[in-house]
């Protein structure tokens, strides 16, 4: 697969994952109490940390989403995204295994939901797909239309690039610039 195709796939992964994070966090920001109640419903964390997690999670989701959509600090944002998706998958699987029927609270809401068990497979599948997109971005964070491309060092040239490339001259241990012209191939 060419670098250009990988960059376009990365752009789609960034926009989809970032858009989901922004939507999930923005819905919860106006009602931090509901977000705290949703975290509490999972019955996984010590009560002392539930309010902090419930209030900070929507903010973190929006920040991660904006970083991904803008393509700013993509690798770091993708690592945090992947860790959160693993945590959410484990949490949903945990309540499903314990026979609990709660709304995941992913996009607001939370608390008891008698139909929740039928939604758990879809929620786990969705989060697994978004986890895969996040892992892709950890491995290949450089994408099209990303602010990272303006602020981070340029990528090293690929051996498949045409034009000028740099080799080390074995006789001098100095870098030699080649223009790729066939008449200069003997200089390599």
Q: What is the pLDDT of residues 108-153, one digit of tens each?
A: 988 889 999 999 999 999 999 999 999 999 999 999 999 999 988 7
Confidence of residue 155 (pLDDT cuts 50, 70, 90): low
Confidence of residue 154 (pLDDT cuts 50, 70, 90): confident
Assessment of whether the complete model's pTM goes beyond 0.85 = no
What does the pLDDT average to over 79-95?
98
What does the pLDDT average to over 54-64?
98
On the question of pLDDT at 188 being above 80, the answer is no
Q: How, if at all, do strands 165-169 and 174-178 pair?
A: antiparallel
- The 10 Å Cβ neighbour count of residue 44 is 15
Residue 73: name the closest of 168, 141, 174 by CA.
141
Chain-centre distance for alpha carbon 43: 26
What does the pLDDT average to over 163-169?
47
Per the rule left: phi > 0, alpha: psi between -120 and 50, beta: everything else, 108 is left
The pLDDT of residue 181: 43
The pLDDT of residue 39: 97
The pLDDT of residue 158: 58
The pLDDT of residue 159: 59
The pLDDT of residue 109: 87
Give the torsion through C-alpha atoms of 105, 109, 111, 112, to 10 deg. -110
- In this structure, are residues 166 and 175 in contact, taking their beta carbons and an 8 Å threshold? yes
Q: What percent of the chain has pLDDT over 70?
A: 82
Give the torsion through C-alpha atoms of 160, 165, 169, 175, to 10 deg. -140
On the question of pLDDT at 5 being above 60, the answer is yes
What does the pLDDT average to over 73-77?
98
Distance between CA atoms of 67 and 39, rounded to whole angstroms?
24
């Amino acid at each position: 697969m060419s670098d250009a195709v990988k960059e376009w796939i990365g752009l789609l992964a960034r926009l989809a994952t970032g858009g989901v994070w922004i939507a999930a966090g923005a819905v919860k920001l106006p009602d931090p109490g509901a977000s705290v109640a949703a975290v509490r419903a999972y019955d996984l964390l010590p009560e002392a940390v539930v309010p902090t997690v419930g209030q900070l999670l929507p903010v973190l989701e929006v920040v991660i989403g904006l970083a991904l959509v803008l393509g700013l600090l993509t690798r770091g944002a993708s690592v945090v995204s992947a860790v959160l998706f693993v945590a959410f998958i484990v949490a949903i699987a945990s309540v499903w295994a314990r026979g609990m029927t709660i709304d995941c609270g992913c996009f607001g809401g939370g608390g008891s939901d008698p139909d929740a068990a039928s939604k758990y497979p879809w929620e786990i599948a969705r989060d697994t797909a978004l986890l895969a997109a996040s892992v892709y971005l950890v491995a290949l964070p450089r994408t099209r239309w990303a602010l990272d491309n303006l602020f981070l060092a340029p990528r090293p040239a690929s051996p498949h690039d045409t034009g000028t490339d740099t080799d080390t001259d074995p006789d001098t241990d100095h870098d030699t610039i080649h223009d790729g012209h066939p008449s200069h191939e003997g200089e390599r």
